[in-house]
Amino acid sequence: MVDNFTKTLMSNTLNNDLKEQLVANFQATEGRLNGETKSAVHQTRRAAMQNFETLGFPTIKHEEWKYSNVSNLVKQAFDFSVKTEFGENELATLSIPNLEGNVLYFINGIYNPELSNIVSPESQLQILNFGKAVKENPTLLETYFAQYANYQNEAFTALNTAFAHDGVVINVPAGKVVEQPIILRFITDARSINVASQPRNLVVVGKNAEVKIAEAFRTMGENGAFTNTVTEIVVEENANVQYYKVQNDTEKSYHIGTTQVCQKQNSHFYAVTVTINGGFVRNNLNIVLDGQNCEAFMYGLYFPNGKQHVDNHTLVDHAQPNSYSNELYKGILKDKSTGVFNGKIFVRDGASKTNAYQSCRNVVLSDEATMNTKPQLEIYNDDVKCSHGTTTGKLNDEALFYMRSRGIPKAEAQTLLMYAFCEDVISQIKIDSIKEYLEGLIAEKLAQ
Amino acid sequence: MLTITDLQASVDDKAILKGINLEIKAGEVHAIMGPNGSGKSTLASVLAGREEYEVTGGSVDFDGEDLLEMSPEERAAVGIFLAFQYPVEIPGVTTINFLKTALNEIRKSRGEEPLDAAQFLKLMREKAKLVNIDDSLLKRSLNEGFSGGEKKRNEIFQMAMLEPKLAILDETDSGLDIDALRIVAEGVNKLRSPENAVIVVTHYQRLLDYIVPDYVHVLYKGRIVKSGPKELALELEEKGYDWIKAEVAATM
DSSP states along A201-261: EEEEE-TT-EEEEEEEEEEESSS-EEEEEEEEEEE-TT-EEEEEEEEE--TTEEEEEEEEE
Closest chain B CA to residue A426: B92
Going by pLDDT thresholds of 50, 70 and 90, the confidence category of residue B204 is confident
**A401 contacts chain B (CB < 8 A):** yes
**A408 contacts chain B (CB < 8 A):** yes
What does residue A393 show for φ and ψ, rounded to 5 degrees? Answer: -155, -165
Question: Cβ contacts of residue A228 below 8 Å, gap of 6+?
Answer: A156, A159, A160, A163, A196, A197, A198, A256, A257
Q: Which of 229-248 (B) contact A at CB < 8 A?
A: none
User: Interhelix angle for B178-191 vs B117-130, to 10°?
Assistant: 120
Cβ separation B88–A398 shorter than 8 A: yes
Cβ separation A406–B98 shorter than 8 A: yes
What mean pLDDT is reported for chain B?
A: 92
Asked if the model's pLDDT at residue A15 lies above 70, the reply is no
**pLDDT tens-digit map of A247-259:** 999 999 999 999 9
User: Interhelix angle for B148-162 vs B178-191, to 10°?
Assistant: 0
Q: Are A256 and A285 in contact (CB under 8 A)?
A: no
Q: How many domains does chain B have?
A: 1
**A407 contacts chain B (CB < 8 A):** yes
What mean pLDDT is reported for chain A?
A: 93
Residues in B touching A408 (Cβ below 8 Å) = 73, 98, 101-102, 105
**B26 contacts chain A (CB < 8 A):** no
**B194 contacts chain A (CB < 8 A):** no
Task: Give the residue-averaged pLDDT of A130-139.
Answer: 89
Please count the residue pairs, one from chain A and one from chain B, whose beta carbons lie less than 8 angstroms apart.
Answer: 74
Closest chain B CA to residue A398: B88
**pLDDT tens-digit map of A313-327:** 999 999 999 999 999
What pLDDT score was predicted for residue B231? Answer: 92
Nearest to A399 among B88, B105, B106 (CB): B88
Closest chain A CA to residue B46: A405
Q: Are A413 and A403 in contact (CB under 8 A)?
A: yes
Going by pLDDT thresholds of 50, 70 and 90, the confidence category of residue A351 is very high
| Strand spans (E) along A334-414 | 338-347, 354-364, 370-379, 384-393
Report the residue of B41, B82, B84, B105 to disrupt the A interface, i.e. the one with the largest count of A CBs within 10 Å: B105
**A416 contacts chain B (CB < 8 A):** yes
Report the residue of B101, B107, B110 to disrupt the A interface, i.e. the one with the largest count of A CBs within 10 Å: B101
**pLDDT tens-digit map of A79-132:** 887 678 888 888 888 989 999 999 999 999 999 999 999 999 999 999 999 989
Domain ranges within chain A, ordered by starting residue = 396-448
**B90 contacts chain A (CB < 8 A):** yes
Residue-wise burial string across A410-441, b where 16 or more C-beta atoms lie within 10 A, e elsewhere: eebbbbbbbbbbbeebbebbebebbbebbeeb
Residues in A touching B105 (Cβ below 8 Å) = 407-409, 412
**A403 contacts chain B (CB < 8 A):** yes
**For chain A, percent of residues with pLDDT exceeding 90:** 85
**pLDDT tens-digit map of A385-441:** 999 999 999 999 999 999 999 999 999 999 999 999 999 999 999 999 999 999 999
Task: Give the residue-averaged pLDDT of A203-220.
Answer: 98
Going by pLDDT thresholds of 50, 70 and 90, the confidence category of residue B205 is confident
What pLDDT score was predicted for residue A306? Answer: 97
- Most distant CA atoms of chain A, gap in Å: 79
DSSP B145-181: T--HHHHHHHHHHHHHHH--SEEEEESTTTT--HHHH
Closest chain B CA to residue A423: B92
**For chain A, percent of residues with pLDDT exceeding 70:** 96
Cβ separation B102–A403 shorter than 8 A: yes
Residues in B touching A425 (Cβ below 8 Å) = none
For strand A110-117 and strand A240-248, is the pairing parallel, antiparallel, or unpaired? unpaired
What CA–CA distance (Å, rounded) separates A341 from A386? 18
Cβ separation A419–B84 shorter than 8 A: no
Cβ separation A406–B162 shorter than 8 A: yes
Asked if the model's pLDDT at residue B230 lies above 50, the reply is yes
Cβ separation A408–B101 shorter than 8 A: yes
What does residue B115 show for φ and ψ, rounded to 5 degrees? Answer: -80, 140
What pLDDT score was predicted for residue A2? Answer: 42
Nearest to B72 among A405, A422, A423 (CB): A405
What does residue B110 show for φ and ψ, rounded to 5 degrees? Answer: -95, 5
End-to-end alpha carbon distance in chain A: 58
Cα A83 from chain centre: 24
What pLDDT score was predicted for residue A58? Answer: 96
Asked if the model's pLDDT at residue A3 lies above 80, the reply is no
What pLDDT score was predicted for residue B247? Answer: 85
What CA–CA distance (Å, rounded) separates A386 from A381? 11
Nearest to B76 among A396, A405, A420 (CB): A405
What CA–CA distance (Å, rounded) separates A242 from A428? 10
Report the residue of B88, B100, B107 to disrupt the A interface, i.e. the one with the largest count of A CBs within 10 Å: B88
What pLDDT score was predicted for residue A16? Answer: 55
Q: Calculate how close chain A gets to B167, using CA atoms only, in Å.
A: 12
Q: Which of A119, A89, A83 is nearest to A101 (CA)?
A: A119
Going by pLDDT thresholds of 50, 70 and 90, the confidence category of residue A177 is very high
Q: Calculate how close chain B gets to A192, using CA atoms only, in Å.
A: 43
Closest chain A CA to residue B48: A405
What pLDDT score was predicted for residue A234? Answer: 98
Going by pLDDT thresholds of 50, 70 and 90, the confidence category of residue B240 is confident
What does residue B113 show for φ and ψ, rounded to 5 degrees? Answer: -70, 145
Closest chain B CA to residue A395: B90
Report the residue of A328, A402, A412 to disrupt the B interface, i.e. the one with the largest count of B CBs within 10 Å: A402
Report the residue of B71, B74, B90 to disrupt the A interface, i.e. the one with the largest count of A CBs within 10 Å: B90
- Give the domain CATH number at B165: 3.40.50.300
Asked if the model's pLDDT at residue A203 lies above 80, the reply is yes
Asked if the model's pLDDT at residue A13 lies above 70, the reply is no
Residues in B touching A420 (Cβ below 8 Å) = 90-93, 141
Q: Calculate how close chain B gets to A306, using CA atoms only, in Å.
A: 26
What pLDDT score was predicted for residue A5? Answer: 44
What pLDDT score was predicted for residue A330? Answer: 98
User: Given 3-state DSSP classes, what are the helix, strand and coil percentages for chain A, each rounded to the nearest 5?
Assistant: 25, 40, 35
**pLDDT tens-digit map of B37-63:** 899 999 999 999 999 999 999 999 999
Question: Which whole-number Å values give the CA distances from A186 to A105, A224, A274, A312, B167, in the listed order?
Answer: 6, 16, 15, 19, 55
Q: HSE (CB half, 13 Å, CA atoms) of B227?
A: 12
